[in-house]
Structure 1
Amino acid sequence: MKHICTFTTFILILATCMADIEARPLKLHSIFTNHMVLQRDKPIMIWGWADKGANVSVKFGKETANATAIGEAGRWEVTFPARGADAIGKELTVAHGSTLIEVRDIVIGDVWVMNGQSNMAFGLGKTSQADLESAQANLPLFRCFNLKSNEQASLQSDLPADAIEGDGWTCSTPQISLTFSSIGYSFGSRLQRALQIPIGIIDTARGGASIESLVPQHKFKDHPLAAAYKSYQDSVIAEFDAEAFAEKKWKNQLAQAKSKGLPKDKWPTNGGAKSLRSWDRPDQSPAHNGSCYNGMFGVFKGLNIKGVLFHQGFNNSLRTSCRPKLYRALMKVMVEGWREDFNDPALPVGVIGFCAGGVSQTRENFEAWSISSGAYIREAQRLGLADIEDAKNTAFLPAHDIQIPGLHPVKKIDHAIRATRWALNRVYGKKINWDSATLVSVEPQGERIVLTFDKPVMPDDMSTTIEGFSIAGKDGKFYLAHAKWPMKKDHGIHNTAKKSFENKKIELWSPLVAEPIAVRYAWATSPMGNLKVNGKPWLPLHSFRTDNWDWPESDDYSKILMDRLTMKKAMKEAAERLEFRRHEEATRAVEIIDELETLGRSVSK
């Protein structure tokens, strides 16, 4: 009887195990849903999972293909030939045995990924022009796939249902559009109207994400700074005790509850490691290496896309996390990683610069507001892209001049319009106005310094006042600079017509800098700076500096060089410079006015 029971038990266990193995259902990757947009002019790969060894039949439109599920995961895939844009909805069917999956209304056009943090995720319904934009949003060929937060410690193969907004791909309507990313909607809908093909947007932005979390993990080894940072983070993870952290967190919350006099039934309980948020865990935090890429972008690699629009920066501009040199390195390897994983070495990537926020810089606070970690992050974004050496397919799109107070400015559509101009001009070859200017030379000339650009730079409002420049001598102390364009030789000194200026050159001077050697422009979080390339409002001259006085940054990632005391000291010194300039301008007003009469008169060549 004992042997019979043992044998029976064995058979039951074996049957249960076999049932588990055979129970793996036929599945399609979660990116494939009704109303999907597939990328035109590139091979179309369809993939999913089934029982190991299962024969899977796939039909897309009139074409069919077969695949065998392989490996322990039972992954299968088929690839259909590239197709041109097609606005007529097609059906995708996947079959194995008696199981059939149907996906309807798939169109073919261009697919753009929106990546970054909360200012990219910021919904259209929260913007200042939501009513006007949504009123034009009845666009059945513009579609969006929105992801929820899904940061992961390792690269995922599929998206869980709770990481997807709604049922997946959604066609634009006036009501639905309000839930789309504002930049994503405004960019994608304009592309759709201009190109007259289906356009799909995949919104992978995650509020609070640092650039570290958006870089494919395998790319950290490709740059010394990135590799060192990953090594440091790995050590932090190795030392992390989730249970101990959860208990400490609970004790702090309990102490707060008691100090507030809350009744016992309102006191928090210790939920252990399972109660921790992703923010609490160094291996899953939106600041951890690759975490957001693992669960929100790389999770659908294999899907061909047209390009990526990126908008991020805030979390890396905080005093405690600002590391511009590391950011520059990560920007480069991030884009290179995307191109590798999505099998396109020339994948177009547009980076909308770190947006302005907070109190705007003015003449009254100029020097004090110039202590800016955000300005260094903008520079790191621009230079990181430049390090890729692919100006044809990458672009830095300045955003510092669009200024609304707050961490989440509601004027997003202007950013999207600039991105659309770039994409139509450079990616699609349309005759749409978009350009950028490059600083060609910096020439110290005694008490003045002269800049030369490769294109005209001027305000878009016909003003002859140039704002946003500061200059410094060898002491590194920057002061607000007076600026003018040089006069052309064939125009009299009283001719102030716009055409009388050499608008590719700018002469700078300050009564407080005897021998200037360095220049900064638009160097603040919400900076002064009114120059536009060719005087066009949608083409702001990007912020820049000519010095190498960097933001304090340690090779030891456990240390913060710009600690509270250092920051307080820097702000105090900047405030003193501000007061000194204001005092000097008041006491030397006549002298300064006389000098300004000659500014711009002697440098034209």
Structure 2
Amino acid sequence: MHHQYLNSLLALLVLSVGTFAQAQSTSATPHSHLRPVKPPASLKVHGIFRSHMVLQRDKPITIWGWAPVGSKVTVALGDQKGESKAAADSGRWEVVFAAEPANAQGQSLVVQSGDESVRMDDILIGDVWVMNGQSNMAFALKGVFEADLESATAHLPLLRHLRIKAGAESEYVETDIKEEFLNGDDPDKNWKVVTPAVASEMGAIGYVFGSQLQRALQIPIGIIDNARGGASLESLVPRHKFADHPDAKAYLKWVDDRRAAFSEQAFLAEQIRKYEESLKQHEKQIADDQEKGRKVNRRKPNKPDGSIRTWSVPGRSPSDAAACYNGMFGVFKGLSIKGVAFHQGFNNSMMNTSCNPKFYRLLMKLMVQGWREDFKDPHLPVAVIGLCAGGQAQTALNFEMEGLSTASYIREAQQHGLADIQDPEHTAYIPSDDQRIPQLHPQKKKELGLRAARWALKTVYGMNIIWDTANIVSAKQEWPALVLTFDRAVFPDDMSAVIEGFSIADRSGTYFMANASIRPTKDKAMANRQIVVSSPLVTEPVSVRYSWARGPMGNLKVDGKPWQPLQSFRTDNIDFSAEVSHMDPDGPRKNAEELKKLKEEAAAALKKRLDNAQMSSPPLGSH
């Protein structure tokens, strides 16, 4: 019976991978290029174009799709009309219209070829923003704090939304989006006019960001949600950018080599083998239970159904080079957009071979540069919302142990990667680590959407909105303390005299929780711009860290505004560990050994500080 099942499933497999095998035969290295496209037998418009969408204002409007080779295609957008001819190689056609100003009056977009016609209605002209990253960006409004009030007020006919869902990732540079990947399980694959019900299903950050922009600007706003849960940064970088640096190029070759060596048939055959072994073991356990009179509810193994999760396929996995960009973002390049908000970092901060802060920094730069190249805007506005503060919250009782954090290095890499682009007028790092919730998906998402909206309204749109950052200017030794100077005032929004979140170290590199206070001054220009940091355990300090944990302490705000937290930083250059490349098969063991050593050092530092505090405290009841 098992062999019959094996043969039938393998037959199904041959059919299911036929298209894949055919694609392999068309190119010696199919994973390095566009997915092979055959000219269609009928008219097709790219999947991003749908009723109720928003087209980008003030930029050329490009409409494209496919049709039988040589056929004439006419396109009408409102009063604008254009013609194209389906190309000989792929049947692709394209029409470019002149830029238009914002227009809240719905227009029709009609594409015709011969007797065929595709009509899309209620097309608006405004600004289109992309919400990219991983699950904390995709996390729906209905799951966050204040979701009830936000969704109840979401009567916003000029705010439109489209979601590209997980599963669209690909090892190929895709050219079109399948309907199955639009708007989840909703049968309506058009852009959504935002109502309370629609808002509840939107990514929370994207909804709050978009709703604030729409209300402030009074123009149509389109939000494309294409964040992918579990995505590593590697998968979000445009494929062509890996050629720009030798380290990235070597990594891409490693991914491509693994993909070339992977056999879907062999993988599924192995799944069947494992299933049959599990089934035999299950049947043996049932027989033993019956023989011994035991009543045990044993779960029967699930039969493989011939499908393969994207995680299992090298090059297609959301952990691998360009996979998510290929099918979820770059797939609609050619569409004009206003900007991108990005929120990611969790998968790259796990202590295994994926935690490579220096490589992350490089990829952050390449990613933004690649977006700008693909969407033909050298100053495309980009806001990177820093890695969120999940996990165990840092306290005075675990400070040093929680200060041993991969998350902090990834946040630093996000900041530095953006800085490497050298375009501060059009890029921003937006801290989120002050919004501490001990969960994988913290429910404080509204706050992050509001911060991103403040940044955009001030810097992109030039409105009189408060959004600023502050940077450390110097760290001078005034033993036994370090005096930090900032370019702007930084102080707690509750005016507390207790400054939290600093650690300090001498040349040994061992960090202890520090005392910190604002240096008094009569110079109004320097008010709240200097912080004095010290510890009784560090007599010759050389460096400090601030807000350096996954869920860090830290209460400084720029100009004391609660929505402007001071970003995490450090004045040392100590690596978390020697970076292990993705290609090193021994990487996990090396990282585990390094982490064990660092944990032991952090535990010793915590014990020393707590012991010292106990010795310094007077006995209970003494005077």
TM-score (norm 2): 0.87
Residue matched to 1:177: 199
- Pairing of 1:277-292 with structure 2 (within 5 A): 277-292=309-324
Q: How many Å separate the matches in 2 of 1:478 and 1:218?
A: 41
Cα distance change on mapping 1:324 and 1:22 into 2, 3 Å: closer
> Are 1:308 and 2:340 counterparts?
yes
- How far residue 291 of structure 1 moved from its aligned partner, in angstroms, is 0.6
Residue matched to 2:97: 80
Amino acid at match of 2:58: D
Residue matched to 1:509: 534
Is the CA contact (8 Å cut-off) linking 1:211 and 1:313 kept in structure 2? Answer: yes
- Pairing of 1:61-210 with structure 2 (within 5 A): 61-149=78-166, 150-165=168-183, 166-210=188-232
Amino acid at match of 2:458: N
1:502-538: CA deviation from partner (whole Å, max 9, x where unpaired): 4111111111112111111000000000000000000
Helix, strand or coil: the match of 2:196? Answer: coil
Residue matched to 1:401: 434
Q: How many Å separate the matches in 2 of 1:262 and 1:255?
A: 14
Residue matched to 1:603: none
- How far residue 133 of structure 1 moved from its aligned partner, in angstroms, is 0.4
Residue matched to 1:9: none
Q: How many Å separate the matches in 1 of 2:56 and 2:573?
A: 43
> Are 1:578 and 2:621 counterparts?
no
Residue matched to 2:70: 53
The equivalent position to 2:486 in structure 1, one of 443, 453, 461, is 453
Cα distance change on mapping 1:439 and 1:23 into 2, 3 Å: closer
Q: How many Å separate the matches in 2 of 1:58 and 1:471?
A: 64
- How far residue 381 of structure 1 moved from its aligned partner, in angstroms, is 0.5
1:574-599: CA deviation from partner (whole Å, max 9, x where unpaired): 11211110111121347xxxxxxxxx
Amino acid at match of 1:163: F
- How far residue 258 of structure 1 moved from its aligned partner, in angstroms, is 5.5
Is the CA contact (8 Å cut-off) linking 1:146 and 1:168 kept in structure 2? Answer: no
Identity %: 51
Residue matched to 2:616: 588
The equivalent position to 1:463 in structure 2, one of 496, 504, 520, is 496
- How far residue 22 of structure 1 moved from its aligned partner, in angstroms, is 9.1
Residue matched to 1:266: 300
Cα distance change on mapping 1:566 and 1:432 into 2, 3 Å: same
Amino acid at match of 1:458: F
Helix, strand or coil: the match of 1:88? Answer: strand
Q: How many Å separate the matches in 2 of 1:485 and 1:231?
A: 51
- How far residue 447 of structure 1 moved from its aligned partner, in angstroms, is 1.8
Q: How many Å separate the matches in 1 of 2:104 and 2:212?
A: 17
5+ residue gaps, structure 2: 1-37, 288-297, 619-623
Q: How many Å separate the matches in 1 of 2:558 and 2:40?
A: 62
Q: How many Å separate the matches in 2 of 1:414 and 1:254?
A: 50
- How far residue 184 of structure 1 moved from its aligned partner, in angstroms, is 0.6
Is the CA contact (8 Å cut-off) linking 1:487 and 1:501 kept in structure 2? Answer: no
Helix, strand or coil: the match of 1:266? Answer: coil
Is the CA contact (8 Å cut-off) linking 2:275 and 2:304 kept in structure 1? Answer: no
Helix, strand or coil: the match of 1:375? Answer: helix
- How far residue 154 of structure 1 moved from its aligned partner, in angstroms, is 1.1
Cα distance change on mapping 1:243 and 1:563 into 2, 3 Å: farther
Helix, strand or coil: the match of 1:483? Answer: strand
Moved more, 54-63 or 325-334: 54-63
- How far residue 571 of structure 1 moved from its aligned partner, in angstroms, is 1.5
- How far residue 228 of structure 1 moved from its aligned partner, in angstroms, is 2.4
Cα distance change on mapping 1:383 and 1:258 into 2, 3 Å: farther
Cα distance change on mapping 1:566 and 1:250 into 2, 3 Å: farther
Residue matched to 1:298: 330
Moved more, 91-100 or 188-197: 91-100
Is the CA contact (8 Å cut-off) linking 2:39 and 2:89 kept in structure 1? Answer: no
Residue matched to 1:550: 575
- How far residue 248 of structure 1 moved from its aligned partner, in angstroms, is 3.8
Amino acid at match of 1:570: L
- Pairing of 1:193-232 with structure 2 (within 5 A): 193-232=215-254
Q: How many Å separate the matches in 1 of 2:246 and 2:477?
A: 35
Cα distance change on mapping 1:254 and 1:449 into 2, 3 Å: farther
Cα distance change on mapping 1:136 and 1:251 into 2, 3 Å: same
- How far residue 266 of structure 1 moved from its aligned partner, in angstroms, is 3.4
Is the CA contact (8 Å cut-off) linking 1:54 and 1:69 kept in structure 2? Answer: yes
Residue matched to 1:16: none
Cα distance change on mapping 1:372 and 1:161 into 2, 3 Å: same
Residue matched to 1:39: 56
5+ residue gaps, structure 1: 1-20, 491-498, 591-605
- How far residue 303 of structure 1 moved from its aligned partner, in angstroms, is 0.3
- How far residue 265 of structure 1 moved from its aligned partner, in angstroms, is 10
The equivalent position to 1:528 in structure 2, one of 553, 565, 568, is 553
Q: How many Å separate the matches in 1 of 2:401 and 2:441?
A: 23
Helix, strand or coil: the match of 2:94? Answer: strand
Amino acid at match of 1:564: A
- How far residue 307 of structure 1 moved from its aligned partner, in angstroms, is 0.1
Q: How many Å separate the matches in 2 of 1:439 and 1:257?
A: 62
Is the CA contact (8 Å cut-off) linking 2:479 and 2:540 kept in structure 1? Answer: yes
Helix, strand or coil: the match of 2:165? Answer: coil
Q: How many Å separate the matches in 1 of 2:39 and 2:528?
A: 74
1:193-240: CA deviation from partner (whole Å, max 9, x where unpaired): 000000000011111111111100000111232222212222322333
Residue matched to 2:293: none
Is the CA contact (8 Å cut-off) linking 2:39 and 2:66 kept in structure 1? Answer: no
Amino acid at match of 2:546: Y
Amino acid at match of 1:227: K
Residue matched to 1:596: none
- How far residue 243 of structure 1 moved from its aligned partner, in angstroms, is 3.4
Residue matched to 2:395: 362
Equivalent pairs, count: 561
- How far residue 100 of structure 1 moved from its aligned partner, in angstroms, is 1.2
- How far residue 563 of structure 1 moved from its aligned partner, in angstroms, is 2.9
Moved more, 317-326 or 570-579: 570-579
1:118-147: CA deviation from partner (whole Å, max 9, x where unpaired): 100011111121110011111000000111
- How far residue 101 of structure 1 moved from its aligned partner, in angstroms, is 1.0
Amino acid at match of 1:527: P
Q: How many Å separate the matches in 2 of 1:96 and 1:349?
A: 38
Q: How many Å separate the matches in 1 of 2:446 and 2:190?
A: 24
> Are 1:429 and 2:462 counterparts?
yes
Q: How many Å separate the matches in 2 of 1:181 and 1:22?
A: 36
1:62-120: CA deviation from partner (whole Å, max 9, x where unpaired): 12111111132111011110010000000111111111111100000000000001100
Cα distance change on mapping 1:170 and 1:529 into 2, 3 Å: same
Helix, strand or coil: the match of 1:360? Answer: coil
Is the CA contact (8 Å cut-off) linking 2:348 and 2:410 kept in structure 1? Answer: yes
Moved more, 49-58 or 571-580: 571-580
Cα distance change on mapping 1:193 and 1:277 into 2, 3 Å: same
Cα distance change on mapping 1:424 and 1:467 into 2, 3 Å: same
Cα distance change on mapping 1:275 and 1:447 into 2, 3 Å: same
- How far residue 327 of structure 1 moved from its aligned partner, in angstroms, is 0.4
Q: How many Å separate the matches in 1 of 2:40 and 2:489?
A: 68
Is the CA contact (8 Å cut-off) linking 2:160 and 2:193 kept in structure 1? Answer: yes
Cα distance change on mapping 1:284 and 1:406 into 2, 3 Å: same
